[in-house]
Structure 1
Amino acid sequence: MAYNQFNQPVGEQLFDDSAGKPVDLICLTGKYCSVEKLSVKDHLEDLATFYVHDPVEQDWTYLPLSPFDNIEAFKAYLEECETSEDPYYLVIRDNTSQTIIGMFSLLNYYLKNRSLEMGWVVYSRSLQGSRMATEAQYLVMTYVFEELHARRYEWKCDSLNARSKKAANRLGFQYEGTFRQHSIYKGRTRDTSWFSIIDSEWPQLKSRFERWLAPDNFGVDGVQKKSLDQF
């Protein structure tokens, strides 16, 4: 513990307190999937499959938006997303089928503190529970910690969203607490659970992801031999 001249405890002195770099992510390529910057021209048709035509209805309960009734409204929404810098919207491409199977974003980026958040996660049926879903998160984490040199990476969700909380824990985010009556959405009150990963935790988490994602951890049927929690 460090102390100042008044014998008061103070935080650790940083060797690098410079501001972060702006998000400028175009494409990240993995073994099973790729993460790309959102493009309405290139991605609208595939995204409409699970945002408009065949949404998984229960996945929208804890999102501030709902599935779209028509392609025109969805296109207008995507056009706003494409030009947004915060949130910075990204899509997930299946490397085998070359279709877009998910969308999420980096948001609440505080450059001075080098802190940002993963959010607005919407996955298609084919992405849910797949190794591509984990790899997409791994690819973005690598970018966040190794390109942006973030000190803190956050995951927040409705405290009643058990599936999101389980995903955060599985991916290595540490639970920090719940902000009571943090926000209002869909006419409901929301207590928000906060999770985070900090830069000192990333090397161990990276090794864990890479061992889980290795081809020899999956059988010919694509089923994992060891779970992420076992690494």
Structure 2
Amino acid sequence: MTAPHLENEFVKLTLLDLSNYKHLSEIAKTKDLIYYSPSDISTDEKLKDYVQIAVDGYYHKTTIPFIIYDKTKQAFAGSTRFGLINWHNKVLHIGWTWIGKEFQGSGLNKHIKFLMLQYAFENLGFDKVEFRIDERNIRSRKAVEKLGATLEGILRKDTLMIDGFKRSTCCYGILKEEWLDIKRTVFEGF
């Protein structure tokens, strides 16, 4: 599997691996950056473990992890990935996204999601893209809804969090046949 290089005038997404993850070290230490995630990236060692899991998934063709570079601010901003890639059923997830506080609210995430959705549907030819979000994470839920994703259901108490809380997960999806309309109405001219 060849790692895609996704880029527009605002953002560049390249393969996240053990050679470049340290660019994210300071961002990853931000308090509560991934509060709604069952992962922990709060130390260099934990961040390296997080990246190693993503790299292992890449070699098993179940994930494609990206490091995010904000071209406007000329700085590394965070990480995202395609995950739970099901090549047979042509379904994948977009998630594991975290960007530094100084990049949030800038429109960067919308550019990231556009490039990823476009690649999933137009290059990989997938039939569905899913997003899984902690039910309590209203900000992320609203962002995915603005992208045109449909809430398909809630998995009740399905994920154990670091603090022992058992979260419920909202499942959103975008179908291939919805993509062109979403591309035109949500992303045109942004």
TM-score by length of 1: 0.74
- In the TM superposition, what is the alpha-carbon distance from 1:97 to its structure 2 partner? 4.0
> Residue 194 of structure 1 aligns with which residue?
171
Instruction: Select 2:37's aligned residue among 36, 50, 63.
Output: 63
Task: Structure 2: state its 5+ residue gaps.
Answer: none
Sequence identity of aligned pairs in percent? 24
> Residue 8 of structure 2 aligns with which residue?
30
> Residue 108 of structure 2 aligns with which residue?
132
Aligned CA RMSD, in angstroms, stands at 1.8
Task: Structure 1: state its 5+ residue gaps.
Answer: 1-21, 214-231
Pair 1:175 & 2:151 matched? yes
Relative contact order higher in (CA < 8 Å, ≥ 6 apart): 2
Q: In 1, are the aligned partners of 2:40 and 2:46 still within 8 Å (CA)?
A: no
- In the TM superposition, what is the alpha-carbon distance from 1:63 to its structure 2 partner? 0.6
Whichever of the two has the greater Rg, that structure is: 1
Cα distance in 2 for residues equivalent to 1:77 and 1:162: 24
Cα distance in 1 for residues equivalent to 2:73 and 2:156: 43
Cα distance in 1 for residues equivalent to 2:124 and 2:14: 16
Choose 89-98 or 151-160, whichever is displaced more. Answer: 89-98
Cα distance in 2 for residues equivalent to 1:50 and 1:151: 34
Cα distance in 2 for residues equivalent to 1:64 and 1:122: 13
TM-score by length of 2: 0.88
> Residue 221 of structure 1 aligns with which residue?
none
Instruction: Select 2:183's aligned residue among 206, 211, 224.
Output: 206
Choose 75-84 or 156-165, whichever is displaced more. Answer: 75-84
The aligned amino acid for 1:44 is Y
